[in-house]
Structure 1
Amino acid sequence: MLDLIKRLPSLKVTTNNKHVYFHCSANVFIVVLACYYCLVINIPFIEGAFTAITALNSFSWLFLLSVPLLLMCLLVLFFSLLSTRWLLKPAAYILLVISSAALYGSVNYGVVFDYSMIQNTFETDGKEAMSYLNPQLIGFLMLFCAIPLFVLNKVKINFNRPHQELLSRSKLVAGCLVLIALVVVNFYADYAATGRNNRILKKELIPFQYLTSSYKYIRDQWLYKDMPFKQLDTNPLLVKPSQTRVTVIMVGETARAENFSYQGYPRNTNQYTQPLGVHYFNNVASCGTATAVSVPCMFSAQPQVAFSRRDTDNQQNILDLAQSAGADVLWIDNNSGCKEVCNRVTTINNEAIKTPNNAAFCQQAHCYDEALIAPLRRKLANLSHANTVIVLHMMGSHGPTYFQRYPEQFKQFTPTCDRSDIQNCSSTQLTNTYDNTIAYSDYVNSLAIAQLNALPDNIEKSFLYISDHGESLGENGAYLHGFPYSFAPSGQTHVPLYIWADHTNQGITNTCIAQANPTQSLSHDNIFHTLVNLIGINTLTYQQNLDVLAHCQPITQLKHHSEVIL
């Protein structure tokens, strides 16, 4: 076999202390690497492209076959840019590791690594990342990463003199450009039509998509100059500063509306809050499909169409305005952080909630969400301000380890999927496990409302629950979340929202909330302005038409805060 390999052009084999090394020119290395990326790493893209093309009423087989040819030429051009003596092989090592991980995500979960997914990846924590570790991932990386890396380590690239390499590479690049030109001339209309109707395809290209998205994220977060902090209102005021008021905001995680009883789901996943009379809104859209986008967006005055994480991080949000107006604001986290939202208010992070009192809920990497109730109870027992705002950030239904989100006694629906490689569970098992997380979150919400209900009648109290985004549970081969918003299924963008207020309140009561239209079209854009009213802030940023509760207690937007009637 070695004799046969040695006869191949541009490829030589040597042995050194019983180690076999393959010698080849840089051009051969680039072409072989491009072929591997084209035919193996980009399997999801090739499969998607072939499916889209063959679904057409009429198509050309030449057009179909031109797709891998065009992709291979583009990959050759890309690797040619890296083809210097000291860069080509190290870059090949690094890209192979990252691309193999991206391929795993694409094949098993259907995810694409656009800007929001890269942002989610950069901003996740180690515990969340480890939840994806499973035997299938290890086996996959052994096959598509470890073995190719071993082969790559056995390759010795023979570089010629600089001018010879430049001439040789120029010929290779020129040949690829000619092939690309031939494809474009003959099939431009076909590519244009297919691209318009299947825009997600280009987001599946590895490594182009994740490299482009990573560059944009790094540019936005680290390369731009620091922005000055923008105050949206320099003098927000509490409408009734002497009135004792407590507002609890529960930020759900990965809860999709389709699995809520309130939404018409046949299973009883809201049995704990239903007796409490919460008012549910069944037509609510999220701002994004990942926590890193949706959480900053829902607390921001920026609408989704103009949302910029960079701008939002550098201006007042609803918590800043509440604190500036004189409210006591506290963020309690059982997730991977507040995504910069709570930077300027008092925070209890997910490590700080691991107290002896919560030992029963914190026996794993993440605490169960019941661990949020103890710090909530302590805060309510020691109210230091007339107006208090408390945000509880749940772990909720975050995957893929759904089975770790609820205690054993809340395993209501069985059989369950007690593993992280959820694509290998049956649809029934996966749905059961996910539904258990929804039911448990509902239980935690009922505990939070019970804490508010226990407060004296002279305290105004209200509760708002909203999820950051939804989740895919294997529909059409899609799992988890973080898909590009324009392509995301409704399961990832349709989120639950419900509000509760005490019937003894002077302003916003549960009776008044019940008069709101439950089917009105809402989104995360409404949360900021609804919270302005719920908390009771007079601010120039308020837009009454976006306030879900404006019919209960409209806040007049005044040009001069001195005109506020206290």
Structure 2
Amino acid sequence: MKHFSDLIQRLRARFADQRTYYWVFLGVLLVPNLFLCCTEPIVWPGKVALMLLPGAVWMALLTVAPKPGAPFWCTLPLLVLGAFQLVLLYLFGNSIIAVDMFLNVATTNSGEALELLGKLEPAIVGVLLLYIPALVLATLSIRLPARLSATFRRRNAVRSGILLLVGIGAMVGARLQDPEYRAKLDIWPLNIGYNMGLAVERWQKSDRYPLTSADFCFGAVSERPDSIREVYVLVIGETSRALNWQLYGYPRETNPHLSEQEGLICFRDVLTQANATHKSVPIMLCSASAENYGTLYTRKSILSAFREAGFRTAFFSNQSENHSFIDFFGAEADTTLFLKSAAQARGEAYNPYDDLLLQSVSGLLADTSFRKTFLVLHTYGSHFDYQERYPADSAYFLPASYDDVRPDHREVLLNAYDNSIRATDQLLSDLISYLRALPNTASGLLYASDHGEDLYDDARGLFLHASPRPTYYQLHIPCVLWLSPTYDAEWPESRLAAESHRDKPMTTNVIFHTLLSMGGIETPQRNDSLAVTSPRFTVTPRHYLNDHNKPRTLDRIGLGAEDIAMFRRMGLAFPAERVRDRLSAAGLE
């Protein structure tokens, strides 16, 4: 008991001294930097600079007042970003808060956010235990009568200057070792400020989209007569990865209905060009791609092209409006419906399943007064929380109910995820049945997911998507095409071309051009070398759109040896340069 009493007395004495608070606050401020030193692939001088430069600034900042609690409270915005950073490291295992992550926060509805936050208790509890007590201590520091001595403050100001110089030297050394090293990209929180600025810039540019694209015209016309009724449906999947589709060799029955569909063409080697919905879906819907993404701000979508060509168009979404390009493109249709937003406008709490989209589709297809119809369906697919994407009584893989997200819950998470894919399988099969039943109608359905998902698949322990560095699991997506017998009879060359290209490597920038080719839409924006239904389709190097909206080939986007091994296992094309060395170094050759 005496030892415990002595310990309490020592702690009281320690926390009656402002120097204790000074060092505690300095340590708390450097926690994100310490974690990033362990997670980021930076050359060792860069790691030194990552610690010393911010550390020097914090040391100087904490000396500006005799009570360090006051300047520490002034860093509250930085502490919030630090908490955000640590949660993302828990999720993704590496990388700073990316531009896309800031935009994801801005474009994610509250329901999605709550679904995710409710399952991240360990990370959230961890950051709260770090930052809340620190702020309490800062308040105590302000209230204490004691002050930092002038000598202490002066000495540490000098030390901070010395560390700053050493840090600058380390930064120069890092640049000499790695020509791509940049302080604004590799030193926290400078990189956070830089990315926030880019996010604001992109948001402002997208906000002006209705003005910057107002004068755009496809000059689109249909090359086909009205004597044959035509109906085409694009279904945009959500967070569905090819690895878990039965059609792609997955041992589980996740595609029991599509596996029995006659005439279905499954494209084996399709990669998304972005792993975040707000970027990947626009690439599908317009002629912008990773290679020319800047054109997105001045061009309209596939809906306008079909509309100009005389098609009745409709956009039905099971996702909420979020003031993104998806909303702008959807508004170009003759008929636009966001199921959740419509319900919220009526004051309803509503989380419909994707099969409710069928009601809107059936009503539209029943109207035969239009000879040409084009529909876009944006599903909620397999977006987390997976167990909310289908009725509980339809769960096929069990158990599928979980309360939190942890690696040791992977089997249950996987069950729920696979159940969501079965729900997509049912939706697509029902849509094909609708189209097949249309008399004397040339019809087609094209499905592609916007991106995939990490599901604690390997030793890296990665989960979800939209990580600054993508993985195989986020890149390889399912893409299937169905054409009706009437369509095949009228334009057999489209099926022949698609069948011949089914195993060729491609990315989601083919969706836009394939739809124009399928629908017989002539426009200067159509590029048949990117249309899988055209004999002119050409295989080109594949690019991914990185966080700073730069196109990068697959060997330059930070894929790990585990990812390259999965490319090989799945028989996907991958740039050969340096692959063998990277696999050998990881023991995966």
Q: What TM-score range do you get, normalising by the shorter chain?
A: 0.7 to 0.9
Q: 1:347 aligns with which of 325, 336, 340?
A: 336
Q: 1:410 aligns with which of 390, 394, 398?
A: 394
* Match status 1:284 vs 2:254: no
Secondary structure in 2 aligned to 1:283?
strand
Quick one: distance in 1 between partners of 2:270 and 2:203? 30
Secondary structure in 2 aligned to 1:504?
helix
| Superposed displacement of residue 152, structure 1 | 3.1
Secondary structure in 1 aligned to 2:339?
coil
| Superposed displacement of residue 498, structure 1 | 0.6
Corresponding residue number in structure 2 for 1:494:
476
Q: 1:100 aligns with which of 83, 87, 110?
A: 83
* Match status 1:531 vs 2:515: yes
Quick one: distance in 1 between partners of 2:443 and 2:27? 63
* Match status 1:428 vs 2:437: no
- Is the Cα–Cα contact under 8 Å of residues 21 and 138 in structure 2 kept in the other structure? no
Corresponding residue number in structure 2 for 1:471:
453
Quick one: distance in 1 between partners of 2:56 and 2:167? 11
Quick one: distance in 1 between partners of 2:314 and 2:22? 55
**Unaligned regions of 5+ residues in structure 2, if any?**
1-6, 538-589
Corresponding residue number in structure 1 for 2:286:
300
| Superposed displacement of residue 428, structure 1 | 2.2
Distance verdict in 2 for CA 1:201–1:137, change over 3 Å: farther
- Is the Cα–Cα contact under 8 Å of residues 222 and 522 in structure 2 kept in the other structure? yes
Aligned length: 510
Corresponding residue number in structure 2 for 1:324:
308
Secondary structure in 2 aligned to 1:131?
helix
Distance verdict in 2 for CA 1:514–1:394, change over 3 Å: same
Quick one: distance in 2 between partners of 1:323 and 1:81? 63
Quick one: distance in 1 between partners of 2:283 and 2:301? 9
Corresponding residue number in structure 2 for 1:129:
113
Which amino acid in structure 2 is aligned with residue 156 of structure 1? I
Secondary structure in 2 aligned to 1:499?
strand
* Match status 1:504 vs 2:486: yes
| Superposed displacement of residue 533, structure 1 | 1.3
Corresponding residue number in structure 2 for 1:556:
none
- Is the Cα–Cα contact under 8 Å of residues 44 and 204 in structure 1 kept in the other structure? no
| Superposed displacement of residue 156, structure 1 | 1.9
Secondary structure in 2 aligned to 1:351?
helix
Quick one: distance in 1 between partners of 2:105 and 2:316? 23
Which amino acid in structure 2 is aligned with residue 530 of structure 1? T
- Is the Cα–Cα contact under 8 Å of residues 236 and 538 in structure 1 kept in the other structure? yes
* Match status 1:221 vs 2:210: no
| Superposed displacement of residue 104, structure 1 | 1.9
- Is the Cα–Cα contact under 8 Å of residues 512 and 552 in structure 1 kept in the other structure? no
| Superposed displacement of residue 464, structure 1 | 0.4
Corresponding residue number in structure 2 for 1:448:
431
Q: Which has the higher helix share?
A: 2
* Match status 1:140 vs 2:126: yes
| Superposed displacement of residue 469, structure 1 | 0.6
Distance verdict in 2 for CA 1:483–1:168, change over 3 Å: same
Distance verdict in 2 for CA 1:185–1:65, change over 3 Å: closer
Distance verdict in 2 for CA 1:124–1:74, change over 3 Å: same
| Superposed displacement of residue 144, structure 1 | 2.9
**Unaligned regions of 5+ residues in structure 1, if any?**
14-23, 54-58, 159-163, 356-362, 554-566
| Superposed displacement of residue 351, structure 1 | 2.3
Corresponding residue number in structure 1 for 2:575:
none
Corresponding residue number in structure 2 for 1:44:
35
Alignment of 1:239-254 (within 5 A): 239-242=223-226, 243-254=228-239
Any idea what the Cα deviations from partners look like across 1:145-201, whole Å, max 9, x if unmatched? Answer: 43333333334299xxxxx99x999986664343243355478556765897xx899
Quick one: distance in 2 between partners of 1:5 and 1:514? 74
Which amino acid in structure 1 is aligned with residue 336 of structure 2? T
Corresponding residue number in structure 2 for 1:557:
none
Corresponding residue number in structure 2 for 1:151:
137
Alignment of 1:347-386 (within 5 A): 347-351=336-340, 365-386=350-371
| Superposed displacement of residue 440, structure 1 | 1.6
Q: Greater CA deviation, 314-323 or 507-516?
A: 507-516
| Superposed displacement of residue 480, structure 1 | 0.4
Distance verdict in 2 for CA 1:30–1:86, change over 3 Å: closer
Quick one: distance in 2 between partners of 1:253 and 1:478? 18
